Amino acid sequence: MRPSFIALTIAYCAGIFWLSSSVSPVDATPRFPQEDKVAHIVLYGGLAAVVSFGIRRSGKPASFRKQFWAPVVFASLYGISDEIHQLFVPHRFCEFGDMLANATGALLAQLVLCYVIWRLNRGRIAQ
């Protein structure tokens, strides 16, 4: 990946870390059911997209397998590490459901990017 995408990925991860480091209010009432899971899906889908664009715009050809799975694995592993980090933050919890939502977001982002966006734009986004 180009240094700009590495920096963007680090900044995105730092933002997630900062969000999960804040003490969540104990009486936080969700605006709609499963709001926290939707937030996880969106945040980690975004992380996978940043990594995916970084790979695609690196100037080096990547196999479809690497292009598709590397961002999913990266975002999912970062999500697991973030959930473990929350064990040490007051009023935060390490939840398997959140890990699953993180991986789901990453997978959905890659499905849209690889099977819809880039197939429709055949090479216009690459390099």
1 in a structural domain? no
**Rounded to an integer, what is the distance from CA 62 to the centroid of its chain?**
20
Q: What is the mean pLDDT of each run of 10 residues along the chain (127 residues)?
A: 92 94 69 84 97 90 88 97 93 91 97 85 53
Tell me what pLDDT residue 123 has.
Answer: 52
Number of domains in the chain: 1
Q: What is the structure's pLDDT at 61?
A: 83
Residue span of the structural domain in which 54 resides: 36-120
pLDDT of residue 125: 45
18 is a domain residue = no
User: Which of 32, 110, 14, 33 is CA-nearest to residue 71?
Assistant: 110
Residue 47 belongs to a domain? yes
Domain membership of residue 92 (yes or no) is yes
* Cα dihedral across residues 5, 63, 68, 126: positive or negative: positive
Does residue 45 lie in a domain region? yes
Instruction: Say what the pLDDT of residue 27 is.
Output: 56
Per-residue pLDDT at 127: 43
- Residue 25 is predicted with a pLDDT of 58
